[in-house]
Amino acid sequence: MAARVLAKGRLAMFAIGESDRKRFNAGAAEGERSFGVMRHVVTNSVVDLTGADTANAICYVTTILNQEGFGPQILGIGRYEDEFVKVNGEWLIKRRVIVSDMGNQELAKASGLFGG
């Protein structure tokens, strides 16, 4: 399956983050850190320097959905495959591929958060 670009550039990534915060954490005060309805648990990060200003990384992601009345449940398991580049001394994500290894489609549908 071909990768689909959901956001290109820093501003587009921030816009998606803001939209997701409102969608998945409704009712939270601005700047409040709370569990909300969903959390991504990132583990086993491995970074390989490929040059003075480039690196590749992989980490595993477990997405947990906290549905009212059911408690936390695993929605999906996957990984981020990243390419980094150093620009003016700052490491930036050049490219991120999000791979879904397995997911709970019934839970996603029942939550009403993902359309369909």
CA distance 99 to 81: 8
Six-digit token pair at 21?
Answer: 């915060």
CA distance 48 to 50: 6
CA distance 81 to 40: 15
Q: pLDDT grade, residue 10 (50/70/90)?
A: confident
DSSP at 29: P
Which residue type does 89 have? G
pLDDT in tens, 60-74: 999 998 877 778 999
Which residue type does 105 have? Q
Classify domain 37-111 by CATH architecture: Roll (3.10)
Task: Calculate Rg over the CA atoms of the chain.
Answer: 16
Pairwise pLDDT comparison (50 vs 29), residue with the higher score:
50
Domain boundaries, the chain: 7-34, 37-111
Predicted TM-score of the model (pTM): 0.74
φ and ψ at residue 108, rounded to 5 degrees: -60, -45
